[in-house]
Structure 1
């Protein structure tokens, strides 16, 4: 199981903390820059160790503000990219599941029941949601298991999980079928195969 180092909410909090640090550091930098300018007006010499130390601190603070702004921008960009990728993956997963359902020849009602089985609902809950008899749901579930070549709920769920985790064997064919559907280029001449 892959653990997330920075869950989504934590990344948002991290961005907020970085923004707060940038603001605090910018205020400190302005204070030190103002103090250096005031001390320089009074003393007029850059060889004063106190003035030199404050100048270095002000430059370091400005550099820190710039670095943190770049870091915050990168963090926000990574979070945005990850969210887009997650949205794409979720949509792609639904398309792959639909491709399996097409291969098995599931009816519309069976597809609804299969999705609810994958979500973890039992037959009685599915019957309540679909407003049908529990016996009807059991019959549809039995048909789903038969068409998918499985013996029951657990094997049906594990079959799909196994296919998603497989090394592009059946999943590759499901993706190819999905791509063919979306591009409408699934003619025998385009693929170079003859039937």
Structure 2
């Protein structure tokens, strides 16, 4: 299960529920408005308690529809803004990774191994994915740590986390 996708699906579900409520309230409002108009044609007076109550219900439903439409629009806008932010963060992370790898002069094989380290794979898993021996992956990882001046996996990963937390001045200076 991908945990990163769960909140997005929840937000989409919420937007769908809101749209359904808007539709239901809209249909109910049309019914009450139609009923009020028919009753008013027959009676011609708004002093009838039943007609007054239906009029109030119709106004409340129309108000609810308008409110929910505004709320749904805001929700959709926030979802769009969050997706844009995620896309930007993804792009920045790719740029940060590429910049570091270039700076450290990693070979293509080392880049592949380094990316898998960043994704959280251990050496044995990396070896299986790349169809190489575990010893080869260990040697490549050792080379990556030496080129990045890090003491191991945790410190290597922390280089990227620190860069993201710091707001990545490297990209800001390059832009």
When the two structures are superposed, what TM-score results if normalisation uses the length of structure 2?
0.87
- Cα deviation, residue 175, structure 1: 4.2
Find the aligned partners of 2:12 and 2:56 in 1 and give their Cα distance: 32
CA spacing shift, 1:36–1:7, aligned 2, 3 Å: same
What is the aligned partner in structure 2 of residue 193 from structure 1? none
What is the aligned partner in structure 2 of residue 100 from structure 1? 100
Deviations 1:141-162 (A, max 9, x none): 1111111111111221123222
Moved over 6 A (4+): none
* Pairing of 1:75-114 with structure 2 (within 5 A): 75-114=75-114
Deviations 1:51-80 (A, max 9, x none): 222212212211211221121122122212
Q: CA RMSD in A?
A: 2.0
Unpaired runs of 5+ residues, structure 1, are 1-5, 180-195
- Cα deviation, residue 21, structure 1: 1.1
Greater per-residue helix proportion: 2
Deviations 1:37-60 (A, max 9, x none): 121111111233332222122122
When the two structures are superposed, what TM-score results if normalisation uses the length of structure 1?
0.79
Equivalent pair of 1:99/1:174 in contact (CA under 8 Å): no
Find the aligned partners of 1:10 and 1:49 in 2 and give their Cα distance: 43
What secondary structure sits across from 1:13 in the alignment?
A: helix
* Pairing of 1:28-47 with structure 2 (within 5 A): 28-47=28-47
> How many residues of Structure 1 are paired with residues of Structure 2 in the alignment?
171
What is the aligned partner in structure 1 of residue 3 from structure 2? none
Equivalent pair of 2:96/2:160 in contact (CA under 8 Å): no
Find the aligned partners of 1:160 and 1:74 in 2 and give their Cα distance: 34
Equivalent pair of 1:96/1:175 in contact (CA under 8 Å): no
What secondary structure sits across from 2:150 in the alignment?
A: coil
What is the aligned partner in structure 2 of residue 187 from structure 1? none
Find the aligned partners of 2:88 and 2:129 in 1 and give their Cα distance: 28
Equivalent pair of 1:100/1:174 in contact (CA under 8 Å): no
- Cα deviation, residue 133, structure 1: 2.3
Find the aligned partners of 1:121 and 1:127 in 2 and give their Cα distance: 10
